[in-house]
Amino acid sequence: MIFDIFLVEAIINGILFGGVLALLALGLNLVFGVVDVVWICYAELVMVGMYSIYWGNNHFGLPLVICVVIAIFAVALLGFLIHFLVIRPILGTPPINQLLVTGGLLFFMQSLATLLFTGDFRNLGLHLPVLELAEMYISFSRLIAFVTALLAMVALYMFLKRTYLGAAIRAISQDREVVVLMGVNPQRVYLVASALGGGLAGLGAALLILQYDVHPLIGISFGPITFMICVLGGLGNMIGGFIAAFVMSQLISLGGFFLETEWGYVIAFVFFIIMMFIRPQGLFGNRS
Amino acid sequence: MLIVKKLSKHFKGFVAVDSVSFEVHEGELVGLIGPNGSGKSTVFNLISGNLSLTSGSIRFDGQELAGLPSHRVCHQGIARTFQIPRPFRKLDLLENVAVSAFFGSAVPIRREEAWKRAKEALGIVKLSGDSNVDVARLGASGLKKLELARALSTRPRLLLADESLGGLDETEMEQAGEMLEHIRSEMGITIIWVEHIMGILMKVVDRVIVLDHGEKISEGLPNEVADDPKVIEVYLGDKNEVGHKAADTTVESLQSSDYISRKQC
């Protein structure tokens, strides 16, 4: 068999894409693991982050790095507010209500963005170089996105492992009834996790706007796949979500290589549906 | 120190705790006993704020606890253990206790101070050794000790110990009984002890409160309670009901305990 350079390129691109998906899945899993509510509108937080970077950079002329920092904090604040204003009052209600409410938020944010920013596709107009490596073309922006996503995940891991608040987050995701008896104020931990989840979405926005145009419906491109990755990895299971992100991104990339780009998604989603028949709890989940 | 007045808890028509009143004084070691389903654990859940009460009042050093969320109750100086140990399996042994020490302290403390308190608490329950141990590898006795260490690391003034001895062998039970006695006498922590196995409990406690079907049926010194016809009736009586097996073992342990034999001498 001839060593297929294009196949290797597709695999590398799949890995690079997986990094950003893993970051988004981590944010969604973090919130779910701690608060026990799935933010269906998670990718819309990413959309808000992308717009804030776009406006900051294109209209106010702020340096991109500053815009990214602003976006991370702005979306973290948005996550905080979503918990404080929307999730907190419905914490004790059946899960279906919580899904409907965050689903409602999705449409609210989409519509509001359309109203404010119109449906135009916008981008930063950046022209990042394409790296040529042994006859393979690797997009520089994807490489940056991948490395940054990995660094962010390591930082989050250290936070969860090395701090008391991190330990409380790990503890509350396991037994919320006991952890409160040790003086942990659950509402505080929920707010921290929601802000962290928002911050990760803000960072994800920074990485995605290097590669994609922003428009009000951009969430559709990343929301469903992020949610499916989390379910595939076992909802709330961060390690599982991390691995599932690379499985899905590889399926998309290889499907796109052997057939067409759109087929990549079709194959990934079919794989997901079949896995739900075989392992409804997810690849690494133990929840029913 | 703790004054419980007309405490009631209803679960959709089922009365789990029915107008129970009792007091616990500073420095006391009080036993709370009763057959399965008599409401002992529910009383603990109500005091610690796990459950909200239907009616009544719980005052701790003059402060009303009813309506306070659990973490605030903890900061008031009340800690509890669970009948079935509930460790955080994702955290190692020292982390389990340190989280409790850090967040359970009534006033904010430094990181290092929390580690120190956690190690102290592990030392008290004799679980020092390797603190990085995976909690999944602790046996039944080790998990019970971990529960106790987590509770102690919050530096409570009142400890609610829920059936600390279930699932332990005889020697381990003796040791655990001695440990509670030690915690009370050396550390000055007031203790309410819920227990099925009465032999050891009767030897160490100052006073016993007996619940049955959510009502207080007896209260007094251990020997008074053991002679109370109502208590004997409850423990020997309804053998046909569900839960009689637990009652059986309790009666056996009651009768075979050193306490009873001492009394007969």
Asked if the model's pLDDT at residue A194 lies above 80, the reply is yes
Task: Check A178 against B79: CB less than 8 A apart.
Answer: no
User: In the prediction, which pLDDT does A76 show?
Assistant: 97
Closest-CA distance, B103 to chain A, in angstroms, reads 5
- Residue B242, pLDDT above cutoff 50: no
Residue B259 has pLDDT above 70, yes or no: no
Q: What is the DSSP string of B163-198?
A: STTTT--HHHHHHHHHHHHHHHHHH--EEEEE-S-H
Looking at the predicted structure, is the pLDDT value of residue B19 above 60? yes
Q: Which of the two residues, A225 and B166, has the higher pLDDT score?
A: A225
Question: Does the structure show a pLDDT above 60 at B38?
Answer: yes
B69, B82, B150 ranked by CB distance to A180: nearest = B69
- The H-or-E segment that residue B211 falls in is strand B207-212
Backbone angles phi, psi at A276, to 5 degrees: -65, -30
Say if residue B246's pLDDT is above 70: no
Number of domains in chain A: 1
Whether the predicted pLDDT of B145 surpasses 50:
yes
Q: Burial, A140: exposed, middle or buried (Cβ in 10 Å; 0-12, 13-18, 19+)?
A: middle
What pLDDT shows up at residue B60? 94
For residue B100, list chain A residues with Cβ-Cβ distance below 8 A: 182-183
pLDDT of res. B175: 81
Distance CA B242, CA B246 (A): 9
Q: Residue A182: which of B89, B90, B100 has the nearest Cβ?
A: B100
Shortest Cα distance from A232 to chain B (angstroms)? Answer: 21
Q: Are strands A130-133 and B2-11 parallel, antiparallel or unpaired?
A: unpaired
pLDDT range class, residue A167, cuts 50, 70, 90: very high
Q: In the prediction, which pLDDT does B48 show?
A: 92
Is the CB of B76 inside 8 Å of chain A's CB atoms?
no
Is the residue at A285 inside a domain? no
Mean pLDDT for the stretch of residues A178-200 = 94
Closest chain A residue to B154, measured at CA: A182
Tell me what pLDDT residue B237 has. 59
pLDDT for B69 beyond 80: yes
Contact B34, B237 (CB under 8 A): no
Interface mutation vs chain A, best among B100, B152, B157, most A CBs within 10 Å: B100
Answer yes or no: do A167 and B98 touch at CB < 8 A: yes
Asked if residue B156 has pLDDT above 80, the reply is: yes
Q: Which residue in A164, A174, A178 is closest to B102 by CB distance?
A: A164
Return the CATH number at A83. Answer: 1.10.3470
Residue B261 has pLDDT above 80, yes or no: no
List Cα–Cα distances, A54 to A23, A144, A206, B106, in angstroms.
21, 18, 10, 46
Cβ distance of B89 and A174 shorter than 8 Å: yes
Q: Is residue A25 part of a domain?
A: yes
Dist. CA A172–CA B116, nearest whole Å:
23
Least confident of A62-66, A218-222, B46-50, B255-259: B255-259
- B7 strand-pairing partners: B20
Residues B49 and B244 sit within 8 Å (Cβ to Cβ): no
* Token representation of residue A273: 């549906």
Q: Is the pLDDT of residue B252 over 50?
A: no
B28 CB burial (10 A radius; 0-12, 13-18, 19+): middle
Q: Residue B181 above 60 pLDDT?
A: yes
The pair of structure tokens assigned to B15 is 């009365």
| B73-121 pLDDT tens trace | 999 999 999 888 889 988 989 999 999 999 999 888 998 999 999 999 9
Residue A287 lies in a domain: no
pTM assigned to the model: 0.85
- Considering chain A, what percentage of its residues have pLDDT values greater than 90? 67
Domain B2-77+156-264: assigned CATH number: 3.40.50.300
**Percent of chain B at pLDDT exceeding 70:** 85
Q: How far apart, in whole angstroms, are the C-alpha atoms of residue B245 and residue A204?
A: 59
Comparing CB atoms, the residue among B50, B104, B111 nearest residue A183 is B104
**3-state class percentages of chain B: helix first, strand second, coil last, to nearest 5:** 45, 25, 35
DSSP state of A281: T
CA distance A166 to A72: 19
Interchain pair B88, A181: CB under 8 A? no
What ipTM did this prediction achieve? 0.80
Cα–chain-centroid distance for residue A94?
A: 25
Are the beta carbons of A87 and A193 closer than 8 angstroms? no
Least confident residue range of A250-259, B57-66, B179-188, B239-248: B239-248
Contact B78, B158 (CB under 8 A): yes
| Least-confidence region, from A55-64, A110-119, A191-200, B135-144 | B135-144
> A196 in a domain, yes or no?
yes
- Bigger pLDDT: B36 vs A142: A142
* Contact (Cβ atoms closer than 8 angstroms) between residue A201 and residue A75: yes
Measured CA to CA, the distance from residue A61 to residue A42 in angstroms comes to 28
- Residue in the structure block whose two tokens are 């933010």: A39
Interface test with A, best of B50, B73, B81, B88 (most A CBs within 10 A): B88
CA distance B191 to B205: 9
Summary mean pLDDT of chain B:
82
Distant-in-sequence, close-in-space partners of B136: CB < 8 Å, separation ≥ 6: B89
pLDDT value of residue B164: 57
Neighbour-count burial of A237, counting CB atoms closer than 10 A to its CB (0-12 exposed, 13-18 middle, 19+ buried): buried
Q: Are B36 and B238 in contact (CB under 8 A)?
A: no
Find the farthest-apart pair of alpha carbons in chain A and give their distance in angstroms, rounded.
63
Range(s) within chain B of domains with CATH label 3.40.50.300: 2-77+156-264
Contact: A184, B99; criterion CB under 8 Å:
yes
Residue A288 lies in a domain: no
Q: State the pLDDT confidence band at A280, using cuts at 50, 70 and 90.
A: confident
- All residues at 6 or more sequence positions from A4 whose CB lies less than 8 Å from its CB, including other chains: none
> In A, what residues contact B, Cβ < 8 A?
164, 167-168, 170-171, 173-175, 177-186
| Mean pLDDT of all residues belonging to chain A | 91
Tell me whether B98 touches chain A (CB under 8 Å).
Answer: yes
Q: Quick one: average pLDDT of A54-74?
A: 93
Q: Count Cβ atoms below 10 Å from residue A81 Cβ, excluding itself.
A: 15
The string of DSSP letters for B47-75 reads: HTTSS--SEEEEEETTEE-TT--HHHHHH
User: What percentage of chain A reaches a pLDDT higher than 70?
Assistant: 98
Cβ-Cβ contacts under 8 Å, B69 against chain A: 180, 185
